[in-house]
A and B are shown apart, each in its own frame.
Chain A
Amino acid sequence: QQQVKQSPQSLIVQKGGISIINCAYENTAFDYFPWYQQFPGKGPALLIAIRPDVSEKKEGRFTISFNKSAKQFSLHIMDSQPGDSATYFCAASTPAGFQKLVFGTGTRLLVSP
């Protein structure tokens, strides 16, 4: 049972454009929603995370939008750069005090020069 659905599977964006990746979840007990960035041959690294008490969080060019009623959250990458080309994973976890993360299936982003 996939608890976090991620789309699209792949995305091509021109340099300077906006990249948008969407995730939907089923478990209303989730209270932590991180996004991870993974480069080939490397482990995932935390990019930005949000908790459901806010609807938006911005860090530099990266923004998470969170819609609790729709059980959806999305990652926006503004002014996308070739260096942003990577695989992005959304994830979610419950308030268990530790991160038993449930991951989406990933989005491979390619930013063309």
Chain B
Amino acid sequence: NAGVTQTPKFRILKIGQSMTLQCAQDMNHNYMYWYRQDPGMGLKLIYYSVGAGITDKGEVPNGYNVSRSTTEDFPLRLELAAPSQTSVYFCASSLQGTDGRDTEAFFGQGTRLTVV
């Protein structure tokens, strides 16, 4: 198993450009998440999905969009990139356990995005 795979690893965008951060997991996890990590700020939840076709906003969703057409993939779309979106983005996934509680979240290696 590859786990959670994110592409690209690094990207520089100009202000106003758009891009899609890709995330794929091969663990058949039903839950997937996007976090951003800023220096000294910990990780903040952008969007999450509890299954294919179902997504919802997290703490900092403005400027982002997501879709979940399959269990495996959860792309994050940035429209009209702004310098405030310079950050490291992490995708994660987890599985609902048999007791209804979820198991641990597995994180990808991150995408470092710079908007100039």
Q: Are B94 and A44 in contact (CB under 8 A)?
A: no
In the complex formed, the residue of A with least CB distance to B56 is: A100
Q: Are B45 and A44 in contact (CB under 8 A)?
A: no
Q: Is A99 an interface residue (CB 8 A)?
A: yes
A102 to B43, CA, bound (A): 8
Q: Are A99 and B31 in contact (CB under 8 A)?
A: yes
Q: Are B104 and A44 in contact (CB under 8 A)?
A: no
Most buried by B among A49, A89, A97, A102: A97
Q: Are B45 and A100 in contact (CB under 8 A)?
A: yes
Q: Is B48 an interface residue (CB 8 A)?
A: yes
Q: Are B107 and A49 in contact (CB under 8 A)?
A: no
Q: Are B105 and A105 in contact (CB under 8 A)?
A: no
A103 and B31 in contact, given A42-B109, A43-B109, A97-B101 (Cβ under 8 angstroms): no
A43 and B50 in contact, given A89-B43, A104-B42 (Cβ under 8 angstroms): no
A105 and B102 in contact, given A43-B107, A45-B107, A100-B58 (Cβ under 8 angstroms): no
Give per-residue flags for A91-108: 1 if the beta carbon is below 8 A from chain B beta carbons, else 0.
000010111111111100
In the complex formed, the residue of B with least CB distance to A95 is: B101
Q: Is B110 an interface residue (CB 8 A)?
A: yes
Interface residues on B, range: 20 to 34
A contact residues, total (Cβ < 8 Å): 25
Contact of A105 among B42, B45, B100 (CB under 8 A): B42
Q: Is B40 an interface residue (CB 8 A)?
A: yes
The distance from the CB of B103 to the nearest CB of chain A, in whole angstroms, is 9
Contact of A44 among B48, B96, B101, B107 (CB under 8 A): B107
Query: A-contacting residues of B (Cβ < 8 Å)?
Result: 4, 31, 33, 35, 40-45, 48, 50, 58, 90, 92, 94, 96, 100-102, 104-110
10 residue pairs from A and B, CB less than 8 Å apart? A4-B42, A42-B109, A43-B90, A44-B90, A99-B102, A101-B35, A101-B43, A103-B35, A105-B41, A106-B40
